[in-house]
């Protein structure tokens, strides 16, 4: 099945070897997009390639994998140039690679790990955003006038941790809050270049390995905000969600698709929260 919004569009997806990234590669490949899948984990990328090929019947999917560390500016620039040469153009970026860091209360948090989280989630996200945006801006100049005012779209993966400040996740929460500010500031800088920039903030996505592991780590963190029983941690979390259930990866991908596509053509600098109402409220 092809979808005009994505057919023959080139989408770069970072963190393509992970849960969200892999599901995104499969989803957009099925809709006829051309996927540039980036990750620094070789074997995870290969598994993504295998699953995309298995998921797309009939026509061969157009997917290329690129091993690249998002924190290395030279490697990112070379990779983006290679993608541009391989595909001829870049239309969309899902800037999604991330690292959650330790699950420990602030008094025990290792500053070395704090710096690592910030380096991957903030600096790495910026390096990819800037490199891809430069390529998009140069394409816009070469294309001249187009029928769509802002033909390029970038989606950064933030998190509800940015809005709520999850206990025992001080580095992750800080990094995701920085992504919200990066999204707003870069959206303003890039609007004159025909590029929209938005973010998504998911929370409580599962079931699956990440959900189970996270509850085990929260239970073991020693934080007074969590029970020491992972099952009770899980129940308490879902109990705090107005919709009283977990969200699915599919629901995350649909939100990313909305922001990447022209369905959101007049939206830039915003954050789409995908959390069943967990963080809903009027801010002071
Ligand atoms: N899973 C959730 O419930 C959830 C909720 C909110 C936000 N998020 C965010 O969504 C994004 C994806 O999460 P996920 O659940 O798929 O996680 P994941 O751990 O399954 O995937 C993350 C991917 O990023 C890659 N990566 C990490 N560091 C990298 C680097 N330096 N260079 C290149 N690639 C690197 C990893 O190899 C991995 O494949 C992350 O930014 C995460 O913070 C996830």
Q: Nearest 5°: phi and psi at 265?
A: -60, -20
Q: How far apart are CA 269 and CA 77, in angstroms?
A: 24
Using the mean position of ligand 1's atoms as its centre, give its distance from the Cα of residue 78 in Å.
22
Q: Are 260 and 30 in contact (CB under 8 A)?
A: no
| Token pair 């070379």: residue | 78
Task: Over range 249-253, report the average pLDDT.
Answer: 98
Q: How far is CA 79 from the centre of its chain?
A: 18
Tell me: pLDDT of 240 over 70: yes
Using the mean position of ligand 1's atoms as its centre, give its distance from the Cα of residue 19 in Å.
7
Catalytic residues: 172
Tell me: pLDDT of 25 over 90: yes
Amino acid 145: pLDDT = 57
Q: How far apart are CA 157 and CA 152, in angstroms?
A: 17
Amino acid 144: pLDDT = 66
Q: Which of 18, 121, 124, 248 to mutate to test the pocket of ligand 1 (most atoms within 8 A of CB)?
A: 18
pLDDT per residue over 109-120, tens digit each?
999 999 999 999
Residue nearest to atom 9 of ligand 1 (CA): 157
Residue nearest to atom 36 of ligand 1 (CA): 15
Task: Over range 142-169, report the average pLDDT.
Answer: 90
pLDDT band at 143 (very low <50, low <70, confident <90, very high): confident
Q: Are 187 and 196 in contact (CB under 8 A)?
A: yes
Amino acid 2: pLDDT = 63
Q: What is the CATH number of domain 10-204+248-272?
A: 3.40.50.720
Amino acid 141: pLDDT = 79
The DSSP result for 197-252, as a single string, is EEEEEE-SB-SSHHHHHHHHHHHHS--TTS-SSHHHHHHHHHHTSTT-SPBPHHHH
Q: Where are the domains of the chain?
A: 10-204+248-272, 206-246
Question: Of 4 and 16, which is predicted with more confidence?
Answer: 16
Amino acid 146: pLDDT = 64
Q: Which is the closest atom of ligand 1 to the Cα of 121?
A: 41
**Gyration radius of the chain's alpha carbons:** 19
Per-residue burial over 24-58, b = 16 or more CB atoms within 10 Å of its CB, e = otherwise: bbbbbbbbbbbbbbbbbbeebbeebbeebeeebee
Using the mean position of ligand 1's atoms as its centre, give its distance from the Cα of residue 98 in Å.
4
pLDDT band at 147 (very low <50, low <70, confident <90, very high): confident
pLDDT per residue over 175-229, tens digit each?
999 999 999 999 999 999 999 999 999 999 999 999 999 999 999 999 999 999 9
Q: What proportions of the chain, in percent to the nearest 5, are helix, strand and coil?
A: 50, 15, 35
- The 3-state DSSP class for residue 11 equals strand
Q: How far apart are CA 77 and CA 210, in angstroms?
A: 30
Tell me: pLDDT of 1 over 70: no
pLDDT per residue over 28-62, tens digit each?
999 999 999 999 999 999 999 999 999 987 677 79
Q: How far apart are CA 141 and CA 53, in angstroms?
A: 35
């Amino acid at each position: 099945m092809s979808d005009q919004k994505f057919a023959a569009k080139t989408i770069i997806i970072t963190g393509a070897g992970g849960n969200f990234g892999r599901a995104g590669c499969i989803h957009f490949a099925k809709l006829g997009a051309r996927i540039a899948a980036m990750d620094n984990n070789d074997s995870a990328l290969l598994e993504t390639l295998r699953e995309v090929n298995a998921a797309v019947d009939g026509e061969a999917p157009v997917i290329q994998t690129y091993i690249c560390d998002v924190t290395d500016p030279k490697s990112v620039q070379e990779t983006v140039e290679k993608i541009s040469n391989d595909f001829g153009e870049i239309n969309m970026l899902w800037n999604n690679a991330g690292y959650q860091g330790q699950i420990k209360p602030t008094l025990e948090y290792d500053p070395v790990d704090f710096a690592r989280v910030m380096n991957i989630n903030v600096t790495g996200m910026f390096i990819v955003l800037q490199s891809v945006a430069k390529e998009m801006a140069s394409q816009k100049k070469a294309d001249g006038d187009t029928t769509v005012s802002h033909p390029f779209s970038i989606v950064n993966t933030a998190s509800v941790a940015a809005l709520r400040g999850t206990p025992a996740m001080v580095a992750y929460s800080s990094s995701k809050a920085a992504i919200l500010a990066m999204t707003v500031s870069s959206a303003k800088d890039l609007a004159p270049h025909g590029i929209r920039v938005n973010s998504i903030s998911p929370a409580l996505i599962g079931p699956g390995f990440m959900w189970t592991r996270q509850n085990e780590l929260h239970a073991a963190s020693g934080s007074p905000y969590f029970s020491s029983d992972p099952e009770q941690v899980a129940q308490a979390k879902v109990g705090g969600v107005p919709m009283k259930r977990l969200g699915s990866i599919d629901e995350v991908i649909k939100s990313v698709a909305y922001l990447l596509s022209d369905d959101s053509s007049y939206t830039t600098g915003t954050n789409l929260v995908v959390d069943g109402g967990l963080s809903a409220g009027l801010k002071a």
